[in-house]
Amino acid sequence: MQETFILPFLWLTLGAILTLFTFSFLYKDNPLYKFAEHLVVGVSAGYFVVLLFWTSLKPKLIDTVFYNFSNEWFYILPGILGILMWFRFSRKLAWVSRYPIAVYIGIGSGLAIPLNMQNFVNRQLSATMIPVGFGNWTDFWNIFIVIGVICGVIYFFFSKEHKGAFGAMAKVGIWVLMIGFGASFGFTVMARISLFVNRISFLIEDWLEIVTGSI
């Protein structure tokens, strides 16, 4: 066996073993699956801590504060807020951590609320105000969009009892939602099968090939 072959062989074999451990959950929960699951969580957490240090803490705080303080001294302010966050671990001083949380929520809300309203509500509303009719296929299909939106919204209107014409529209709304859920289910099946096929491809084309090649 060549030296350059050993390392990829070991990594691929480890990947194959962990894949099989994960699939074992389909039979029933077991220690092998638990091991694979905990390994993923542990490795992910460790990786993220190191990544955050090198991509955020070091370049944005340590380097700027210690090596470029005169130009970018203000970077120390979020640094102090970050340190205040650690007071959550003290029962007596946990209240101190509310200040950085307040700043974080304030900035987050200020950034998100107006643009969320604009992009997820206003633009979607204006996209419903569209020409409808029977002149061409686009206008014809637009009828379904308008009816679907109105009936879907009516289904979630609970201040009036769903009876008569109102109830009928709410029922159409349920059907629209069900069609949406059906589309999501179809997409989800595709997603899960993609993951499964990829693992099968890995086991057969990558791992088995290298194993049979090594014998």
Partner 1 sequence: MDFFEKISQLDRRWVYLFLAVVVVIAFLTKFDVPVTITSEVKSIYDRIESLNEGDKILIAFDYDPNALAELHPMSFAILEHCQRRGVKVIGVTLSQYGAGMAENILRTASGTYAEKIDRFRAYNDQMYDKTNDSRYRDKSYKKDWEYGLDYCFLGYKPYPALVILGMGQNFRLYFPQDYYNTPLGELDIMQGVRNYDDIKLAIDVTAGNTADFWLIYGNGRYGVPLALGLTGVMGADYYQYLQSGQIFGLIGGWKGAAEYEELVGRDEGKAKEGMPAQVVAHLTIILFIVLGNLGYFLSDRRKQSTAGQA
Q: Which is nearer to partner 1, 94 or 189 (CB)?
A: 189
Q: Cβ 202 to partner 1, closest distance in Å?
A: 9
Of the pair 132, 167, the CB lying nearest partner 1 is at 132
User: Cβ 1 to partner 1, closest distance in Å?
Assistant: 26
Q: What is the nearest approach in angstroms of partner 1 to the Cβ of residue 190?
A: 4
Question: What HEC string does the chain produce?
Answer: CCHHHHHHHHHHHHHHHHHHHHHHHHCCCCHHHHHHHHHHHHHHHHHHHHHHHHHHHHHHHHHHHHHCHHHHHHHHHHHHHHHHHHHHHCCCCHHHHHHHHHHHHHHHHHHHHHHHHHHHHHHHHHHHCCCCCCCCHHHHHHHHHHHHHHHHHHHCCCCCCCCHHHHHHHHHHHHHHHHHHHHHHHHHHHHHHHHHHHHHHHHHHHHHHHHHHHC
Instruction: Give residues in contact with partner 1 (CB under 8 A).
Output: 26-27, 44, 47-48, 51-52, 55-56, 111-112, 115-116, 118-120, 123-124, 126-127, 145, 180, 183-184, 186-201, 204
Cβ 69 to partner 1 shortest distance, Å = 17
